[in-house]
């Protein structure tokens, strides 16, 4: 943690940007695509964004270690909190009735950015828990495997982290609104989609990780690391 990495701030910026997109843009739309044999598949657009933030988290932990990944998670948490507060503040402010466009804009803002307190709480708590689980497991597995089989670490940590994320988010956000059966189906479906995206992006993760390790001359092993999430050191 003493030397200053060259590209950490760029990876951190990408991580926060993807996280904000997944929470502010993605949830507002459900998409429908056709699979082979014309099988329809519908899912929330946010599921395309959010798993990419886990890939950023994998890169941060694998190259720079758990402590720097922990700082990134707290930056993401702070960005989500600020964005949520600002979104709700702007939606709740009275629109200027003398501007005709506001009659169209205000309902659209309420639909896209007017999240309920349950969804905001669920999103932030699920992100915080899931990302820390993902980073912790990857760091521990790296030491246990002596740095071998990166694919096993990234996919294994995502299996656990995304399971925590989905299991926390959907019940907090929609319990009592959706039936228990629907909740379970959506949790399993979204967890599967997110893990599959991690698998598909594994070759790219290898390329980015190897390039960063060479450029930074860094390949951090979390031996003796304090894994508390409540630190910025």
Return the percentage of the chain with pLDDT > 90, whole number.
72
Secondary structure percentages of the chain, helix, strand, coil, to 5 = 75, 5, 20
Overall average pLDDT of the 107-128 stretch: 88
Output the six-digit token pair for 95.
Answer: 């629109």
Distance of alpha carbon 224 from alpha carbon 115, whole angstroms = 41
Among 150, 126, 127, smallest CA distance to 139 is for 150
Among 202, 117, 133, smallest CA distance to 167 is for 133
Distance of alpha carbon 124 from alpha carbon 126, whole angstroms = 6
Domains of the chain: 8-216 (1.10.1760)
Overall average pLDDT of the 74-79 stretch: 97
Overall average pLDDT of the 103-132 stretch: 90
Output the six-digit token pair for 187.
Answer: 């949790």
Angle between helices 46-64 and 202-216 (to 10 degrees): 30
Largest Cα–Cα distance in the chain? 66
Distance of alpha carbon 110 from alpha carbon 126, whole angstroms = 23
pLDDT for the residue 166: 93
pLDDT for the residue 25: 73
Instruction: Tell me the pLDDT of the chain averaged across its residues.
Output: 91
pLDDT for the residue 45: 74
Tokens 């890939």 appear where?
55
pLDDT for the residue 2: 55
pLDDT for the residue 51: 86
Distance of alpha carbon 92 from alpha carbon 71, whole angstroms = 32
Output the six-digit token pair for 140.
Answer: 């521990």
Name the burial class of residue 49, with classes exposed (0-12), middle (13-18) and buried (19+) by CB atoms within 10 angstroms of its CB.
buried
* 3-state secondary structure at position 32: strand
pLDDT for the residue 163: 97
Distance of alpha carbon 156 from alpha carbon 162, whole angstroms = 10
Overall average pLDDT of the 139-161 stretch: 97
Question: How confident is residue 77, by pLDDT bands cut at 50, 70 and 90?
Answer: very high
- pLDDT tens across 40-72, in order? 877 777 777 788 899 999 999 999 999 999 999
Q: Model-level pTM?
A: 0.92
Question: How confident is residue 114, by pLDDT bands cut at 50, 70 and 90?
Answer: confident
């Amino acid at each position: 943690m003493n030397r200053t990495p060259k590209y950490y701030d760029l990876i951190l910026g990408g991580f926060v940007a993807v996280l904000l997109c997944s929470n502010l843009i993605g949830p507002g739309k459900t998409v429908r695509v056709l699979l082979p044999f014309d099988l329809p598949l519908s899912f929330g657009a946010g599921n395309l964004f959010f798993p990419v933030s886990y890939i950023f988290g994998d890169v941060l932990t694998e190259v720079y270690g758990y402590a720097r990944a922990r700082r990134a998670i707290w930056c993401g948490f702070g960005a989500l909190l600020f964005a949520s507060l600002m979104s709700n503040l702007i939606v709740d402010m009275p629109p200027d009735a003398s501007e005709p466009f506001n009659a169209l804009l205000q309902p659209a803002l309420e639909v896209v950015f007017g999240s309920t307190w349950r969804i905001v709480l669920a999103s932030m708590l699920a992100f915080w828990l899931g990302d820390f689980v993902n980073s912790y497991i990857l760091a521990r597995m790296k030491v246990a495997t002596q740095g071998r089989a990166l694919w096993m670490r990234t996919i294994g940590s995502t299996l656990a982290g995304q399971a925590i994320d989905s299991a926390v988010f959907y019940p907090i956000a929609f319990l009592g609104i959706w039936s228990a059966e629907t909740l379970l189906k959506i949790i399993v479906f979204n967890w599967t989609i997110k893990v599959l995206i991690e698998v598909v992006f594994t070759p790219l993760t290898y390329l980015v990780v190897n390039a960063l390790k060479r450029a930074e001359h860094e390949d951090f092993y979390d031996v003796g690391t304090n894994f508390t999430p409540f630190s910025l050191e």
